[in-house]
Structure 1
């Protein structure tokens, strides 16, 4: 569910919304920080979240911060998270519902910050929407066990726990947006998961998959061992990634 085995080309074809969101992240990062003299400064000024300006009528600032980031590490971290945790939901929900859920959780997180956050603080980033995806997974783990298996349930709950802990440990992180993005995802999950079936990861079909293989059970046992290895390795890598982010982010 969270292990990516597609080629770059097949990933783009299979997960068009996730790919488009990552491209948007990269595009605005390059525009804002590499070409500020070509309108990047103006885009930042118009798009950054600011409660005072929202109160004065700039309501688009509840949406635009979702697509902007505070630097390269910030952008890469959110894009990396989206690539890992977005594809399964895009497949399960469908593209339209996935976009709606992603934007809804990000907007609700920014609305929560509008009412609870400091008026003068500038904020931007897709973290509220990313935590919204986590919230949908948490709802699955707690109330829709038919949609997620035990192994993935344990993995996602561990990642969410780490994410929440790192939210409080990292100075400058928008705690309100993270927490309310998570809550918003869990709150809207029943609406979006209605009629959804269990996720099945796409994989290419090869000619050698057809026919009887006398070693199929041995291969399955080896496959399980490899799967455990990749899960442990992936988890360790994410822990290291979170640690590095805690050192350099903000």
Structure 2
């Protein structure tokens, strides 16, 4: 479920277009804002920040636009990595429209909660963390109430990463705690709506017959069952290790 089996970036984009477009937006905005410090891009970035002063003055688009902005390369990389890791399975299970609705819905509700609970005129925030934690909320809902949609091993991975994320939320400075907590709550509450008629994730579903009735995948690539099983057994510790390394790097950058 969280092990990527796609043979190329092109294939990943083909299978998960919504996740891919969001990540591309992350990268493009970071590139334009950070590596091309042109005043026009700076102004656009400022217009997109979650500025509570601006929201108090009726700039309600700031509930949406901060989801796509980040405060540096590591911030962008971490959120994009999280989306690539946890987004594809949900995009397949929900479909493109419902996945986009759930992702943006969780992010927007997290930003609204941030504004209501911390209405300080000077508060400014950016980042996709609220939407990312919304994905966790949907997975935790599956673990609790839709066990047929997620196997026990992937449920364990989700819960461990979620707990680590929540712990870091409250021990690291400079994090929008409201967005993390209420993004998770929003995702949990949206889950029973968007999971209607959802089916468990399956990598095989990506390689169905096309309209021309030609098989689009090589069945031999699935023969190494032992190797795949071993990867899945180690997936939990691989993911935790990567997150710890990224977290440590971001702490000193």
Normalising by the residue count of structure 1, what TM-score does the alignment of the two structures yield?
Answer: 0.90
The Cα shift of 1:220 comes to: 4.0
In the other structure, the counterpart of 2:144 is: 142
Q: Distance in 1 between matches of 2:167 and 2:226?
A: 35
The 1:209–1:26 alpha-carbon spacing in structure 2 relative to 1, beyond 3 Å, is: closer
Q: Mind listing any 5+ residue stretches in structure 2 that lack a counterpart?
A: 208-216
Change (3 A) 1:172 1:14: same
For each residue in 1:58-99, what CA deviation from the matched residue of structure 2 results, as whole angstroms up to 9, or x when unmatched?
000001101111111111111110100000000000000011
Equivalence for 1:243:
248
Secondary structure, counterpart of 1:75 in structure 2: helix
Matches of 2:252 and 2:219, distance apart in 1: 48
On the 8 A contact 1:135/1:184 being kept in 2, the answer is yes
Q: Report the CA distance between 1:38 and its aligned residue.
A: 5.0
- Contact between 2:5 and 2:203, CA under 8 Å: does it hold in 1? no
Shift of 1:52: 2.0
Cα distance in 1, alignment partners of residues 219 and 102 from structure 2: 38
User: In terms of mean alpha carbon deviation, does 227-236 or 19-28 score higher?
Assistant: 227-236
> For 1:149 and 1:132, how far apart are their aligned partners in 2?
20
SS at match of 1:121: coil
Q: Which residue of 2 aligns with 1:104?
A: 105
Q: State how far apart, in whole Å, the 1-side matches of 2:179 and 2:137 are.
A: 13
Question: Alpha carbon RMSD of aligned pairs, Å?
Answer: 1.9
CA distance in 2, matches of 1:88, 1:160: 16
Instruction: For residue 237 of structure 2, give the secondary structure of its aligned residue in structure 1.
Output: helix
Distance in 1, matches of 2:228 and 2:194, equals 33
| Alpha-carbon shift at residue 194 of structure 1 (Å) | 0.8
Contact 1:33 1:40 in 2 (8 A): no
Tell me if the contact between 1:92 and 1:197 (Cα under 8 Å) persists in the aligned partners: yes
Deviation at 1:55, TM superposition (A): 1.5
- Residue equivalent to 1:197: 199
Counterpart of 1:233 in structure 2 is: 238
Q: What is the aligned partner in structure 2 of residue 4 from structure 1?
A: 4
Q: Structure 2 matches for 1:1-250, cutoff 5 A?
A: 1-6=1-6, 7-117=8-118, 118-202=120-204, 205-206=217-218, 208=220, 220-221=225-226, 223-248=228-253
Q: Distance in 2 between matches of 1:232 and 1:145?
A: 23
Equivalent residues of 2:3, 2:232 under 8 A apart? no
Q: Structure 1 residue 222: deviation in Å?
A: 5.0
Other structure's SS at 2:29 match:
helix
Q: Which consecutive unaligned segments of at least 5 residues does structure 1 have?
A: 211-215
Q: Structure 1, residues 116-167: CA drift from partner, whole Å, max 9, x if none?
A: 1233111011111011111111101111101000000000000000000111
Aligned length: 241
